Amino acid sequence: MTITIYHNPACGTSRNVLALIRSSGEDPCIIEYLKTPPSRAELVSLIARMGVPVRSVLREKGTPFHELGLDNPALSDDALIDAMMAHPILMNRPIVVTPLGAALCRPSETVLDILPNPQRGAFVKEDGEKIVDESGKRIS
């Protein structure tokens, strides 16, 4: 089975998602998108597979979002994608693709909705929040 994560190891949410994938018994393909950004066609495909607006994939915090004027509602999807291609840090993360779908996994427990295999035990996020119990069931 192939699971792919577009990952930023400096991001706590991304690290939690990677750990949740591994906790389900999977060894994902890890793409550090800041080092190896997706092509334009791949990015467009990811957004389409997630079924979300292009704007929802844009990250504001810690990026040149405001400096580039990306908060302008008149900007087209193509212009926003152009910005993400020029500045991969603008891509929100982590994006995960599994046989069950693709999702922007924020918050990190969102990944549980698209993992084919259940968790193999308890899981606690880096911040101490318990999201999976000892039996591998999601805590609401």
pLDDT for 28-38, tens place per residue? 999 999 999 99
Architecture per CATH, 4-132: 3-Layer(aba) Sandwich (3.40)
pLDDT band at 110 (very low <50, low <70, confident <90, very high): very high
CB neighbours of 78 closer than 8 A, spacing ≥ 6?
Answer: none
- CB atoms inside a 10 Å sphere around CB 48: 11
pTM (predicted TM-score): 0.94
State the average pLDDT over residues 46-69. 97
How many Å separate Cα 55 from the centre of its chain? 14
Domain boundaries, the chain: 4-132
Specify whether 11 is catalytic: yes
pLDDT of the residue at 95: 98
pLDDT of the residue at 140: 77
CB 122 within 8 A of CB 130: yes
Quote the CA–CA distance of 30 and 53 in Å, as a whole number: 24
Choose the catalytic residue: 3, 6, 8, 11: 11
CA-angle at 56, arms to 54 and 60, nearest 5°: 110
pLDDT of the residue at 132: 97
Would you give the end-to-end CA distance of the chain in angstroms?
Answer: 27
